[in-house]
Amino acid sequence: MREFSEIIKARDWENPLVTSSLSRLAAHAPLCAYPDVQSAVSKAPSPNQQSLNGSWQFQLFAKPEAVPEAFIQPHFDDADWLTIAVPSNWQLQPNVADNPIYTNIQYPFPDNPPYVPQVNPTGCYRTSFVLPPEWQQRQVRINFDGVNSAFHLWCNGRWVGYAQDSRVAAEFDLTEFVQTGENGLAVMVLRWSDGSYLEDQDMWWLSGIFRDVTLLSKPQLHIADVEIQADLDAIYQNGQLVVKTRLNQNSELSKVRLQLFDGDQSLLDITHSIAQQAAVDEKGGYQDRIQQIASVPQVQPWSAEIPHLYRCVISLLDHNNQLLDCEAYDIGFRKVEIKQGQLLLNGKPLLIRGVNRHEHHPERGHALTLKDMRQDIILLKQNNFNAVRCAHYPNHPAWYELCNQYGLYVVDEANLETHGQFPMQRLSNEPNWLNAYLERVVRMVERDKNHVSIIIWSLGNESGIGNNHHAMYQWLKQRDPSRPVQYEGGGSMTAATDIICPMYARVEQDQFFAAEAVTKWAIKKAISMPGEQRPLILCEYAHAMGNSVGNFMQYWQAFRQYPRLQGGFIWDWVDQGLTKFDQEDDPYWAYGGDFGDQINDRQFCINGLLFPDRTLHPAMHEVKKAQQFFQFKLAKAEQGYELTVTSEYQFKTVKDCFLHWKLSANGFPIRFNYNGLNLAPQGSQTIRIPLDIHLLPDTLYLIDVEVVLNQTQTWAENGFSLAKQQFVLPEVIALSEPPLRSSALPHFVEDETQLTVQQPHFQIVFDKKSGLLSSWLKNGAEQLAQPLRNNFYRAPLDNDIGTSEAHHADPNAWISRWQQSGLWSLSEKCLAFKLELLSDCLQICVQHGYYHQEQLLLKSQWVYRITAEGELDLAVQVEVADGLPSLPRVGVELALVNSDSRVKWFGRGPHENYPDRKDAAHIGQYDLSQFELHTNYIFPSENGLRCDVRELTVAELKVTGLFNFAVSRFSQANLAEARHTCDLVADPCLYVRLDGFHMGVGGDDSWTPSVHREYQLSQKQYHYQLHFTL
């Protein structure tokens, strides 16, 4: 037994050689110890398991040396300690004086491996449990599914063991420590350990017992581990089942019974004795294990499309066939292969529609519930994802069971990242760290080996490449040749990966990656390298930080065009915001630096497709559209059109869907129908759409098609939309310029300072000195809170800011270019103001110059035409000086007095969309409140744009033309200055931003200027027209 003082002195948490040697049990598949076969089949709660989740006593100390030795004793007085929920992270508990810390790369402590700071917050937990009487004379184990970052365990005052690696199970044998009746547990958890150097993932540094704690009772002779290989034969029809059962000790008189169930139907029931197996064992005979092999004809193969599961039950029997122990697992028959440069499942090439997912909850941090996990699974399925990368660590055990059940392909990733090391691979070549590296992949594989959803193992993330990685890869290939291995470090194309798995590689453009001094080849180029025959799957792409995910469709065009480009995993699933409260006690989502953490990477953890509460970012609509499993083609036919719908499912026959189509004129439906679908895998079906109408001029005719469920699924209700497409009919006649209906000139008054255009029902005033339309009255009531003026600005997006910070400007970032060029500090001058009387209207020509340090950068000419009816045409021309970067926008901004109006428009919607992210936003008639038009990004920025708008109505203002618009209660200055949503202050007016042109948002990554050239505003002249009616 180790004394407490010896433990403190030994500092196991600063020794990378201390891995599994301190009493932790060997890793194995999860165990339940079912009392009988019926319980195992039905998954009834096992009486041999007892959860210790709940309220524990807790106290935080500044360092392990400050912990009182007596705390390990059962009768220690902890009445003054806090009560804490287990599982949880202590930094998120009230009255615990320790802060969450967010970093992306840098360690939040001095980088001096394996040593950690002397001030090392240490959480001490205490609880007790009563040993069930029926557990007497049985083995008793305790399992911790996740503790960050390292811990020592005591039972009844006696030291039990030590563990680190916060993301895999730590299990201990308590048999010799427990007693009849009540038993006391004490756990000392250290915030920092040498393991922390291997857990430098892009996430919050949070500590504590954050996953389940469970007691397990086993008979003295019991099943210690089960490995199940459920393979398919060469024609992918018949199952080949191999089950390897290991006991905790030799027992030649015992037998193992293997049963396989498909629902209630028994498919297999065989029994072998240990002695029988040992007699034929080629290694000389083992009496603690058995291998059973069986063929299962005509199985239903598992896939994410058809996640068919069988129940495999393994029973340990004594020589009289009495049950001693029983375990059971959901299994699926499938085969993973790489052939001819493609990743195959059951002989078919996969197209990975994937995302990187951190385990995160805004209140509970890393402590997710089964309900949280199920919510994520349902959202993944609903948005056309078929794969998830466990970034960057093994997930909660229940996650894999849900992926098996609902159907998701999983990349299971070892809990390994050393991103903050310089060089990154520093520890990856250190022999002293070899065991620590190896153990992380070994324990992951041994825990998760039976999950059918796991199709790829990963060695970890962003640790460079070194000898330790090659050792991990070699162990994996020997241990489990049935699955490929991927690892991105070292340039994604090393000998330690079976799949080319770059992060943030572009479709067409090479990128140099300074951190590892390697070039990220464009993905098209990577697959064409001489001698390269591996598939390419992006381990990270489409960095979804804030208002992002532009250019996304380009990736999917390439994935569908090139067979060896097999998809990728978006970064990432959910914004890692934590709930905090402002001075008014209103909640907002916080990020790095908001908790007093001096070392932080600010909002770089806010890059999900979902907000922390799992509501969707607008970009999710684009992702769902790109990844949809149906493709559509429209062809002209006699008296109408033929629509061909093609299924991209590889295994599923589509019979549970309807196809709806709708013909509309200027967004108003005029014909619609629906058809049942019957599509074989990769099959097509053609549907006739009649067009028996007279086409009107100046009318936009659209055909919208949508595939919806006609049966409720486990993840969606009947009627749920799976895929959609919109077609603009070629018969469309372009919308003409609205006619001016006036037959007489409006009355006007002009003096040296202003021009007033006045009729009985309206009045428009121009300030001649500024050149601005400063007032617009309707029936005597002012409509404008601010004048109309040019708008060349947008509140910077994360993608505009790049790596710039308050103390460091990235010269390559868009914001730096705009600032350095003077675009952010323009002075406006009216260069000319001229009134002309035309036959049917007044024409006012205004020229403005925009200067920086007396240098003319932009010049605009506005030509107004105003009729007696109060209609106003505005033609805008903008000239751009040489040498300027792409403009953020070219448009007009005005502010309306009426701030509570609904907004109606004919254009793309209903959700926010931008020029490089608008494919999923179909053209239609929409009506939303101004609050619904605002996207409340955690880090405020430009938001809420709607593109390709023909008509807009806000309050009493109507605008027509072809433009983009955004309506907001927040000024651009407020959006730019705010750092959190609680910093936004709604003005009493309503800002209306009308853009002739708007730069894309980008999104290939967020640290280089990722807006593609075709979405940049780099022309020298711009022209657009707007027609106003008030």
DSSP element (H, E) containing 137: none
Distances (CA, A) of 770 to 316, 523, 753, 880, 1027: 90, 52, 9, 20, 22
Q: By three-state DSSP, how is residue 494 classified?
A: coil
Reference 967, options 977, 954, 980; nearest CA is 954
What number of helices (H) and strands (E) belong to the chain?
14, 59
Residue 327 in contact with residue 320, Cβ under 8 Å? no
Amino acid identity at 205? W
Amino acid identity at 293? I
Residue 99 in contact with residue 91, Cβ under 8 Å? yes
The whole-angstrom separation of Cα 185 and Cα 209 is 13
DSSP element (H, E) containing 149: none
Neighbours of 637 (CB within 10 A): 14
Amino acid identity at 223? I
Active-site position among 488, 540, 706, 942: 540
Residue 522 in contact with residue 532, Cβ under 8 Å? no
Query: Angle at Cα 497 formed by Cα 493 and Cα 499, nearest 5°?
Result: 75
Reference 963, options 976, 974, 947; nearest CA is 947
Residue 837 in contact with residue 748, Cβ under 8 Å? no
Length of the chain: 1030
Cross-strand bridge partners of residue 763: 758, 777
SS3 content of the chain, % helix, strand, coil (to 5): 15, 40, 45
Phi/psi at 885 (5° precision):
-75, 175
What is the DSSP secondary structure assignment for residue 1002, as one 8-state letter?
Answer: -
The whole-angstrom separation of Cα 985 and Cα 289 is 68
DSSP element (H, E) containing 799: helix 798-801
Q: By three-state DSSP, how is residue 480 classified?
A: coil
Residues sharing a CB contact under 8 Å with residue 264, sequence separation 6 or more, in sequence order: none
Q: Is 540 a catalytic residue?
A: yes
Phi/psi at 29 (5° precision):
-65, 150
Reference 575, options 934, 932, 938; nearest CA is 938
Encoding tokens for residue 136?
A: 């007497």
Reference 141, options 27, 13, 35, 287; nearest CA is 27
Residues sharing a CB contact under 8 Å with residue 988, sequence separation 6 or more, in sequence order: 785, 899
Per the listing, tokens 């140099």 go with: 512
Q: Is 327 a catalytic residue?
A: no
Task: Cis check for the bond before 572: say yes or no (omega within 30 of 0).
Answer: yes
Reference 788, options 883, 862, 879; nearest CA is 862
DSSP 916-927: TB-TTSEEEEEE
Going through 174-322 in order, the beta strands assigned E by DSSP cover: 181-190, 203-205, 208-209, 213-218, 223-232, 239-247, 255-262, 265-273, 289-296, 310-317
Give just the sign of the alpha carbon dihedral 58, 61, 65, 67.
negative
Active-site position among 199, 227, 462, 622: 462
Neighbours of 1007 (CB within 10 A): 18
Neighbours of 448 (CB within 10 A): 23
Reference 537, options 503, 571, 574; nearest CA is 503
Reference 920, options 703, 647, 725; nearest CA is 725
Catalytic residues: 462, 540
